[in-house]
Amino acid sequence: MIVGTLDGRRWFFVLSAGILVLAAACKGGGTVDAASLGEVARERQLSESDMLAAAKTYVPTGKLDDYLLFASGGHSGQVLVVGVPSMRLLKVIGVFAPEPWQGYGTGSEETAALLASGSMAGTPITWGDVHHPALSETGADYDGQFLFVNDKANPRIAVIDLRTMETVQIVTDPLMGSNHGGAFVTPNTEYVIEGAQYAAPLDGRYASLDEYEEKYRGAVTLFKFDRERGRIDVDRSFTLELPPYWQDLADAGKGPSAGWAFLNTFNTEMATGGIESGNPPFEAGVSANDMDYLTLVHWEKAAQVAEQPGKTVTIQGRRVIPIETAVAEGLLYFVPEPKSPHGIDVTPDGSRLVVSGKLDPHVTVYSWAKIQDAIANRAFSDTDRYGIPILDFDATVESRLELGLGPLHTQFAPNGVAFTSLFLESAVAKWNYETMELIEKLPVHYNVGHLAAAEGDTREPDGKYVVSLNKWSIDRFQPVGPLHPQNFQLIDISGPQMQLLYDSPIGIGEPHYAQIIKADKLQVWTTYPETGFDPVGMKKGEDVATLGRERIERRGDEVHVYMTALRSHFIPEHVVVNEGDMVVLHITNIEKARDATHGFAVSKHNINLSLEPGESSTVRFRAPKQGVYPFYCTEFCSALHLEMAGYLIVRP
Amino acid sequence: MIVGTLDGRRWFFVLSAGILVLAAACKGGGTVDAASLGEVARERQLSESDMLAAAKTYVPTGKLDDYLLFASGGHSGQVLVVGVPSMRLLKVIGVFAPEPWQGYGTGSEETAALLASGSMAGTPITWGDVHHPALSETGADYDGQFLFVNDKANPRIAVIDLRTMETVQIVTDPLMGSNHGGAFVTPNTEYVIEGAQYAAPLDGRYASLDEYEEKYRGAVTLFKFDRERGRIDVDRSFTLELPPYWQDLADAGKGPSAGWAFLNTFNTEMATGGIESGNPPFEAGVSANDMDYLTLVHWEKAAQVAEQPGKTVTIQGRRVIPIETAVAEGLLYFVPEPKSPHGIDVTPDGSRLVVSGKLDPHVTVYSWAKIQDAIANRAFSDTDRYGIPILDFDATVESRLELGLGPLHTQFAPNGVAFTSLFLESAVAKWNYETMELIEKLPVHYNVGHLAAAEGDTREPDGKYVVSLNKWSIDRFQPVGPLHPQNFQLIDISGPQMQLLYDSPIGIGEPHYAQIIKADKLQVWTTYPETGFDPVGMKKGEDVATLGRERIERRGDEVHVYMTALRSHFIPEHVVVNEGDMVVLHITNIEKARDATHGFAVSKHNINLSLEPGESSTVRFRAPKQGVYPFYCTEFCSALHLEMAGYLIVRP
């Protein structure tokens, strides 16, 4: 052993690489007490790679994650915010379903109105099936300002403002029977793309399945986003009528392919099921053909056409460009793609489209240049039965690569590296779309759907992490009943080989897709910018309570209560009303300190608010039968939090 | 350097403890590649203790957590299930609030009826304020069978069956205005204890605050648990009337103190607030006295008294033992305790009661033997104004120990070791209730409320982990908006000194209390025991769909649809009805494979089910206006999951 001194530190040089570098490592400041570490490793039976993975994912107290992952909650109707690499769940954002902890849809007029704006066909909807979150983009790069999500079951799009990470808008799409190809954004978030899935009549009226080809339709809606207002502008949005095939995922072109949107399309068989009557079930009928279509939509041109008189029809109050017009104007083309496609993913430079068909072991890479030539040269092999030109497969495909069983979705890293999920094989395939070589496969547990790569949908992916969104977990976690959590597996892709770092159970919701953004791109508020703020309207409220002006005003049978909340009391503490009075509470949290949130609940009234510092909220209810109803702060705010209470007293 | 060989492994002995033991560690099988570990540590700036903590909390893929932590969700109305030591959120259990991912309260008749049974004063309640989960016990040890939780805002208790980790019962307590001292169980789960908080008239009728002393009351309800049926039996339950003080936390005696229940009581001042009228606010009025009361309830004797004719009165349909009867029968005593007490915790051997008052820096340890003597000797210093005997403070206290600012709650380890949270100091104090010495304090971030120790409420705590349930997180995590997550900090208590291991953000709900059970005590089902199972009734459903007998039956204006779900289709796929028909779906998931869950959603109908393998569910709805409404599986079940769909078609 050689003993030396350097930088005032004692070194041990030992003829063993590991230990030598250990010494070197000690110098670097990242010191490792091999003794106790080894003990723990032995005790917990951790392998070397386990210890490495632990070190790569552990975020010590007081340090922060490098990335935020925004995942859809699936049929929880919510959005999940997860820190990367720690994979800790930082927040569940209430979107389509009420969430009492956030005071979302549990008493405040502001959030009640927001949720009510998502009613469909006259039915209030208190859940959603959130599939695909899309971060707003500027120049095909995540800008950290907004998040858009879809509801597959009840065709809707919600807008989340990332300053507050709260939902600010829900817009419906009455034309569709369901929506799967949303939300995806154009490179500067000019539009939010929403594709239909199960076809239905656009007019929302009855039509027998015998009339499927004539009366059922698919669609893609381009919702115009007004970045200034931070809201979708429905009146400036439009829909393209599509044949009654099933649209699936979508992506927007960028770089050379900017101005175009791409949607997978399956059930070109126009199967209508009916297993109970001896027909092939959907699963068979929809998978009969060897080829389906990739749908090309020239959204930039379509936006101009939609403005021209006579080019659109109005259905259920929405502007629709009919198929014939779309074809005549050169807005709509098909390209054949292998059967039952799922993923359509544009490469970071926008030069290629990667398609994977879950019943075909290959990924198919289309050249955008070739597609443009084919369109220019009108190299159509045919038109479909609705007259939509079908580009020639061989004229547009650049190459194909066999990856394995059930390829679903592709994400990207720098230098042509791509990662594709293999659902049936339960693996992630690493390959290169420039050299078209399969580099490596990593097994995952189990049944991976989508993948999310760090900055993976931008023009410049980071190449640091991929998260595998596994649909099944089976035996990977302590049992929690027949309903199993999903499993996010974090994978380190920064080295020559993929390394599985972490299994992250998702025990709330069933995420379908996620996006990962560098945390430093976000500009998040930790309190509201002014006292009396309405987070739904994103401005100061109209008729809010202020410190020193707390009061109770009777206006006819309406009793208006202007109440403030400050550690550790409400003003007023007594609210006395009569049976049947309409009580209107205007409550403001006048705190300024970060995290000084107050809740507000009224016993037996189904009312709970979460008032963050500066927030003002309104509650309106009819006073029930006579009685004594305590109200109190539901957020543990201070040592005297239990004393932060009052009485609503209803006189006979 | 000495090089030797042992157990067929090459050893490096180096005159450096660390490296020497590294070699030793390698032998043990827990090998550590110091080289790359050191690199990662340097790169991520992890200290030695960070690396140790990472190794102590990391659970590799395919391995399982040792413990499960059940945490209240606070005003989320749900329960959280967290793995320990990984601190991963394994499941959110829907309890008082609908949860669409679980199909809880979003369309199934079974869960709708369960939630409706929790309506209060005629108002449907769709949230709750869950404070204190209690695992069922046998012989004062967690038996892993059931979990009970309270709703503070709307006085209710829910029962969760831990075989399914689903809610099976919600019972209301109409006598109380609010409930904080629940849920706590007696040593064999004979009863579930629920204490009130903010006083109100027991009859639910109007009374002015001027009549507070005469007409307002506190209460403690003992809900009889029928373990065979796995349900609370309301008819065999009873309530003790208490003065209009505010009951707080509770605990049940064990060992020598078995048969008794203990509740903290504050606002013995009977302050009624009214800051807006110049009165002292509650926070001041409630804290005026130096001493409040510890309430002693002889529940075992009370249960006998409640059965005797004339010993109870009936209020709102519930049996109530009046204060005078309780006093006369020797069921009810007070012991003075320092002002504004919060935690009341019985030591594992049942010999001592530990009380902490949040405005007093001490913990006060009462001797159960001394209390028994004082009762036997009628050593009463006085009675309160309701005639309840007050035992002499000095005659019952064993000793007091100053711990720090804002002591709230105490948990236990073996050998007299206790841990008490210090809210104002943001620290956890380790001390010994036998030697009455303060051993150590560990800072936490920030504002710790309750603590949860591994098996901490049993007669034999494990002494391995304590979780600090911090109410504020402020700057500990990447910002996610004005509403901050809470922070569970995992602490290793197995060594001579506490070591902080992990910061775990809780971004859904605001947990107040948790219990930690060894995972191997649970007997969790991973599928339902038979096909056609109703998880709310915990038995096979009455009128369920079975394979081969799928059908659509019209009965008058009711259309009964018997549907099965199996990868990857529903039978039938077409359901055609008329406007206004009452549609009754009977759906069974006939899968047997673990994790083979199917969802069921109907477009624009506010219906989503989660059908785990074997589960059957019923949906009843009035067919809306004419139209075409796709239905589909919302849980990604297979490669042809998107094809698992059908059409509900409503004829004009």
Tokens of B242: 């208490």
In chain A, the residue whose alpha carbon lies closest to the alpha carbon of B32 is A48
For the segment B182-240, what is each residue's pLDDT rounded down to a tens digit?
Answer: 999 999 999 999 999 999 999 999 999 999 999 999 999 999 999 999 999 999 999 99
Dist. CA A75–CA A499, nearest whole Å? 31
Chain A positions in Cβ-Cβ contact with residue B126 (cut-off 8 Å): 98, 100, 106, 606
Taking phi over 0 as left and psi of -120 to 50 as alpha, with beta for the rest, A73 belongs to alpha
DSSP letter string, A227-264: TTTTEEEEEEEEEEEE-SSEEEEEEE--GGGTT-EEEE
Confidence of residue B8 (pLDDT cuts 50, 70, 90): very low
- What residue in B sits closest to A120 (Cα-Cα)? B604
Return the bridge partners of A571, or none: A564
Rounded distance between C-alpha atoms, residue B513 and residue B457, angstroms: 12
CB atoms near residue A524 (< 10 Å): 16
Distance from the B334 Cα atom to the nearest Cα atom in chain A, whole angstroms: 21
B625 CB neighbours in chain A (<8 A) are 121-122
A485 contacts on B by Cβ (under 8 Å): 90-91
Contact A205 B627 (CB under 8 A): yes
Structure tokens at A591: 């705190």
Could B12 and A19 be called an inter-chain contact, meaning their C-beta atoms sit closer than 8 Å? yes
Concatenated DSSP letters of B514-539: EEEEEGGG----SS-SSTTEETTTTE
Out of B106, B197, B205, the one facing A627 most closely (by C-beta) is: B205
* Structure token pair of residue A57: 């994912």
Q: What pLDDT score does B33 carry? A: 63
Residue A476 tokens, joined: 């990977």
pLDDT at B35: 78
Q: What is the number of H-type helices and E-type strands within chain A?
A: 10, 46
- Helix, strand, or coil (residue B545): coil
Q: Band the pLDDT of A22: cuts 50, 70, 90.
A: very low
Q: Following DSSP, what letter does each residue of B336-397 receive, concatenated?
A: EEESSEEEEEE-TTSSEEEEEETTSSEEEEEEHHHHHHHHHTT-EEEE-TT--EEE-HHHHE
Rounded to the nearest angstrom, the minimum Cα separation between A378 and chain B is: 33
Which among A81, A510, A574 has the least Cβ separation from residue B274?
A574
Task: Give me the residue from A34, A276, A608 closest to B19, CB to CB.
Answer: A34
Q: Indicate whether B32 pLDDT > 80.
A: no
Give the integer Cα–Cα distance in Å for B198 and B209.
Answer: 12
- Which residue, among B532, B567, B535, has the nearest Cα to B549 in the 3D structure? B532
Q: Which candidate from A478, A527, A647 shows the least CB-CB separation from B519?
A: A478
* pLDDT tens per residue across span B36-85: 888 999 999 999 899 999 999 999 999 999 999 999 999 999 999 999 99
Q: Which residues of A touch B514 (CB under 8 A)?
A: none
Of A25, A120, A507, the CB nearest to B91: A507
Choose, out of A47, A49, A58, the residue to mutate when testing the contact with B (most B CBs < 10 Å): A58
Closest Cα partner for B56 from B514, B495, B513, B448? B495
CB contacts, 8 Å: A474 with chain B: 594-595
Q: Which of B561, B137, B294, B81 is nearest to A481 (CA)?
A: B81
What integer best gives the mean pLDDT of chain A? 94
Least CB–CB distance from A21: residue in B24, B38, B342:
B38
Residue A626 · residue B206 · CB < 8 Å: yes
pLDDT at A18 over 90: no
Res A632: pLDDT? 98
CB-CB under 8 Å, A649 with B209: yes
Beta carbons of A25 and B39 less than 8 Å apart: yes
> Do B508 and A508 lie within an 8 Å CB cutoff?
yes
Q: Is the pLDDT of residue B20 over 60?
A: no
Q: Which band of pLDDT confidence, cut at 50, 70 and 90, is reported for residue B303?
A: very high
- Taking an 8 Å cut-off on Cβ atoms, the answer to whether B61 and A480 are in contact is no
Give me the amino acid identity at B324: E
Q: What is the pLDDT of residues B383-401, one digit of tens each?
A: 999 999 999 999 999 999 9
Write out B279-313 in H/E/C secondary structure.
CCCHHHHCCCCCEEEEEEECHHHHHHHHHCCCCCE
DSSP characters for A580-605? T-EEEEEEEE---STT--EEEEETTT
**Chain A residue numbers touching B292 (CB-CB < 8 A):** none
What pLDDT, on a 0 to 100 scale, did the predictor assign at position B25? Answer: 39
H/E stretch holding B608 reads strand B607-611
Residues of A in contact with B634 (CB under 8 A): 74-75, 129, 152-153, 510
- Considering only CB atoms, A482 lies closest to which of B45, B476, B525, namely B525
Q: How far is CA B55 from its chain centroid?
A: 29
- Decide: residue A205, CB within 10 A, 0-12 exposed, 13-18 middle, 19+ buried: middle
% of residues, chain B, pLDDT over 70? 95
ipTM for the whole complex: 0.95
Determine the residue among A604, A619, A650 to mutate to test chain B binding: the one whose Cβ has the most chain B Cβ atoms within 10 Å.
A604
Backbone angles phi, psi at B54, to 5 degrees: -60, -45
Tell me, what's the pLDDT at A339? 84
Pick from B380, B287, B385, B297: nearest CA to B342: B287
Rounded to whole angstroms, how far apart are CA atoms B408 and B546? 54
Distance, CA of B564 to CA of A474 (rounded, Å): 22
Residues in chain A with CB shorter than 8 Å from the CB of B526 are 479, 481-482, 484
Partner residue opposite B46 with nearest CB, options A30, A526, A630: A30
pLDDT recorded at residue B358 = 85
End-to-end CA distance of chain B: 91
pLDDT tens, A181-239? 999 999 999 999 999 999 999 999 999 999 999 999 999 999 999 999 999 999 999 99
Q: Token digits for B265?
A: 């009581």
Average confidence (pLDDT) over B356-364: 92
Q: ω before A529 within 30° of 0 (cis)?
A: no
Beta bridge partners of A509: none
CB–CB contact B652 A206 (8 Å)? yes
Cβ-Cβ pairs closer than 8 A, A with B, add up to 658
Within 8 A of A524 by CB-CB distance, chain B residues are 478-481
Question: Are the beta carbons of A33 and B48 separated by less than 8 Å?
Answer: yes
pLDDT at residue number A486:
98
Identify the pLDDT of residue B560.
98
List beta partners, residue B79.
B72, B93
pLDDT level of residue A16 (50, 70, 90 thresholds): very low
**Contact by Cβ (8 Å): A218, A243:** yes
Flag if B639 and A423 touch (Cβ within 8 Å): yes
Distance CA A252, CA A261 (A): 4
| pLDDT band at residue B381 using 50, 70 and 90 as cut-offs | confident
Sole residue written with tokens 């259920």: A316
B407-439: pLDDT as tens digits: 999 999 999 999 999 999 999 999 999 999 999
Mean pLDDT of B574-598: 98
The CA distance from A112 to the nearest CA of chain B, in Å, is 14
| pLDDT at site A32 | 58
Q: Closest-CA residue in chain B for A197? A: B642
Interval A438-497: pLDDT, tens: 999 999 999 999 999 999 999 999 999 999 999 999 999 999 999 999 999 999 999 999
Contact yes or no for B172/A622 (Cβ under 8 A): no
B182/B11 Cα distance (integer angstroms): 58
Closest-CA distance of chain A to residue B298, Å: 27
Q: Which amino acid is at B139?
A: G
CA B302 to CA B325: how far, in whole Å?
10
* pLDDT at residue B517 is higher than 50: yes
pTM: predicted TM-score of the whole model, two decimal places:
0.96
Which residue in chain B is spatially nearest to A505 when comparing CA positions? B90
Residue B523: exposed, middle, or buried by beta-carbon count in 10 A (0-12, 13-18, 19+)?
exposed
Nearest by CB to residue A480, choosing from B99, B165, B503, is B165
Distances (CA, A) of B493 to B344, B347, B453, B465: 22, 18, 9, 5
